[in-house]
Structure 1
């Protein structure tokens, strides 16, 4: 993958070019998935997270039905990002982990709504991570394209 702001690749047309990467890497770069998933994502509170999680999981299932591993993995990344972003806001007032260049001590819990959103996303994220088909296609992708 490129280090630039956007990849000049349609990863649906060229899935062999997709690198799984770490964590949420590529969520704002990998097309066409970014354009399909970003607007489905949100983490303001429990209700927003549950609705977003359902929408993202629906897209995940669509990708799964088409054996579209990059799409499946990107949907997983958006679910993971919902958890990590909501948890950051839950632990740090205003989501600000750093103050004057120094990491702040987390609060327990700075924002209860965001904590609830994080817990909802965690369930959706684990559902994908535990999916045997996801695990199978991830391994196949690594074997063929790494």
Structure 2
């Protein structure tokens, strides 16, 4: 999945639990209206329903429910991007100006993009980690 899709879906669901949600929602619906106008009203209504689910999941400590909602919106955003790949620029702007700023510092750290490449040959080894890594060799 495209990294922008992963980040946008995660940030979207995270932003649902913030005071900045209405502005982010309006911006996302407007983006949807430009790419898939026939779906915009349904998406707007569904965003309201999903926000209620996110708030309930957070109150109940149900991280699995919130993660399922993230995955669902990542798939929806991916379909939007497939319909119009040029939307990636607007989606990045929405992520950077509306969604990510609404999140806590901890939540923002989860939407960053990390690309790692490595190459080993012969008897070489590669160890890569996006966070902590502990290696014990004997």
The reply to whether TM is greater than 0.5 is: no
For the superposition of Structure 1 and Structure 2, which TM-score range results when normalised by the shorter chain?
0.3 to 0.5
Larger radius of gyration: 2
Higher normalized helix content (fraction of residues): 2
- TM superposition score normalised by structure 1: 0.35
- TM superposition score normalised by structure 2: 0.36
